[in-house]
Chains A and B, each alone.
Chain A
């Protein structure tokens, strides 16, 4: 998990507020992925981004959720008007550009997660 930095580690929001989760990928990585893990459930893919581009958002809820990965700065997962069902662990992961693949592939490394609690 070394290198992928997520903050905040823990976030408490009241219903209706906004939550912003930040992710800095490992050095040299330009692909970012977001996953969500609801309590006692498995890891679910949300979105896959490259710098300034969303590649795959097939797992993103249609409303209230958005993600970006600007040219400069961290990737942001934004949840508007949070509800209690958004309480979960959100994990960010990163991988290298395809032209910088490691010997056998494009390994994805995860951060330690951001735990969102909606009260």
Chain B
């Protein structure tokens, strides 16, 4: 699976949009971009994923650049409950052995009042 690069930490003001960048310059055509987050002492929570088109759901939006080498997760209105470590993961989908997720260090997001 391609590796990802994320900033180790970032702060965000409550009520403002949080834009979390991720670089995946070696991504292949068969790899999806997944985002998860882990709130302290909880299991990882799925947020969103995409292949090449931008995606939006009730939690967030995912913007993938045209060359697919980077993406941005957008939390439109951050709340204190969004404080967590956010993981950007690229995942190979074409074979069973590639189904697993490989977590990096993620971005520790602190939402401040």
- The verdict on A25 contacting chain B, using a C-beta distance below 8 Å, is no
Interface contact B43-A91, CB-CB below 8 Å? yes
Interface contact B43-A110, CB-CB below 8 Å? yes
A44 to B102, CA, bound (A): 7
Please indicate the chain A residues that have their CB under 8 angstroms from the CB of B34 in the complex: 107
Partner among A1, A42, A98 whose Cβ is within 8 Å of the Cβ of B96: A98
Question: Which single residue of chain A is at the shortest CB-CB distance from B101?
Answer: A108
Interface residues contributed by chain B, number (CB under 8 Å): 24
Question: Which single residue of chain A is at the shortest CB-CB distance from B103?
Answer: A43
- The verdict on A119 contacting chain B, using a C-beta distance below 8 Å, is no
Nearest chain B CB to A112's CB is how many angstroms away? 5
Interface of B is mostly: loop
Partner among B32, B45, B49, B99 whose Cβ is within 8 Å of the Cβ of A1: B45
Interface contact A48-B100, CB-CB below 8 Å? yes
Interface contact B106-A112, CB-CB below 8 Å? no
Interface of A is mostly: strand
- The verdict on A31 contacting chain B, using a C-beta distance below 8 Å, is yes
B30-53 contacts to A (CB < 8 Å): 32, 34, 36, 38, 42-46, 49-51
A4 to B44, CA, bound (A): 12
A48 to B102, CA, bound (A): 12
- The verdict on B104 contacting chain A, using a C-beta distance below 8 Å, is yes
Nearest chain A CB to B28's CB is how many angstroms away? 15
Given the known interface contacts A43-B103, A104-B32, A105-B49, the answer about A55 and B43 at a Cβ–Cβ threshold of 8 Å is no
Please indicate the chain A residues that have their CB under 8 angstroms from the CB of B104 in the complex: 42
Interface contact B96-A109, CB-CB below 8 Å? no
Nearest chain B CB to A66's CB is how many angstroms away? 18
- Interface residues, chain B, with chain A CB atoms under 8 Å away: 32, 34, 36, 38, 42-46, 49-51, 91, 93, 96-97, 99-106
Which 10 pairs from chain A and chain B are nearest by CB?
Answer: A110-B43, A43-B103, A110-B44, A112-B43, A113-B43, A1-B43, A56-B97, A48-B100, A91-B43, A45-B100
